[in-house]
Amino acid sequence: MTPLRLDPLTARRFQRRALLLDAPAPDVATALAHHGYIQIDPINVCGRMHDLILRNRVHAYPEGGLMRHLHGGDSLLPAAQRTAFEHHLPATGILVAFTTDAWPHLQAAMRERTRRSSAWSGRLTPKQKALAPHLLAEIAARGPLSSEDFADTGRSRSVWGAATVAKATLQKLFFHGRLLIARRGEGNRRYYDLPERVLPAPILAAPAPTPAESARWEVLLKLRQRRLTALKRTELPAVADLVQPITVEGCPPLYCLKSDLPLLAEISNLKSQISNEPPAVLLLAPLDPLIYDRRVTAALWNFTYTWEVYVPPAKRTRGYYALPVLAGTALVGHVDPKADRAARRLRIVSRSAPRRHPLTATVRAFARWLGLR
């Protein structure tokens, strides 16, 4: 198919609009269905990653909204009513919220993990294999349980340091699909339950997809997540009939979904009107879909960014949890905030943006969202 040639400004406007940053979705379910998944991260410096991602994409989104959508609020959501669940992207350790139709496509990755060596997600050790039937039986009898409910199981080495044998075993059983996260407790603690008590029965009974179908599904996830992205040579054949090649000067070959072409046409037709609008200033999550592909972000948005949580302090250039600043069609700087929950105040460790992009109103709105001053 002949590539469409776009100027960088039109490509940026399209990506921003296609990623729900101009017109937020009415609810979490709509945003999740649009993107395919939302990345989950437990670090809470100024709100958790998934909440920061959805804050800009869901109308009136409250902190903690994704977890309530997944598991319920004050009472546990019954399996028949669940439309989403937590699990890992295939072949990665990235935890995300999926819509339930993802479950059949995860089975092959789950089976593969049971056969490989990994302290975090691989096959059970002899000690873990001996403990697993007890853990599963207790959960079957008592309902959702956490590792804290199993005392005196001994210590185990894991990827993040020492853990109890019960915690390491529960985690592996989760990776293998024998348990699922039924709810989150205080401190983001996981409570596990059997899949049949977390997912609707029709989802569990769905026929197994072919490897080609799951490969196509996985590439489509990438396209739905980023809307304008580069594809590997091994990925393109799986979705060639569903994508439109895009050429932007200075960028690698890009692709969008054919289903997004009406939106692209709308952006192109409204170019003169959009250019006169004052830029909306947003604080993006460090792993926001707009900036997730660092190569495309640098080429299309002229913005080089690294999430510096795991960068040694002396080598950080923006800060531990710096949030990129999006002003209209430009990434113009960062704000590095830290929530002081005890003092109920949002502290700004550092900020950087040109004077023509004032950040005061944006930062104050962010503090209010966190319930801080």
pLDDT at 358: 87
pLDDT at 92: 86
pLDDT at 269: 84
DSSP of 141-157, one letter per residue?
Answer: HH-SB-GGGS-S--EEE
Alpha helices (H) along 227-320: 236-239, 261-269, 271-274, 294-301
What does DSSP assign to residue 337?
E
pLDDT at 95: 98
- Dump pLDDT digits (tens) for 90-117: 988 899 999 999 999 999 999 999 999 9
- The neighbour count for residue 313, using CB atoms within 10 Å, is 8
pLDDT at 160: 47
Report the number of secondary-structure helices (H) and strands (E) in the chain: 14, 14
**pTM more than 0.85:** yes
Give whole-number Cα distances, 319 to 20, 263, 292, in Å: 27, 36, 17
Q: Which residues of the chain have pLDDT under 70?
A: 152-162, 271-279
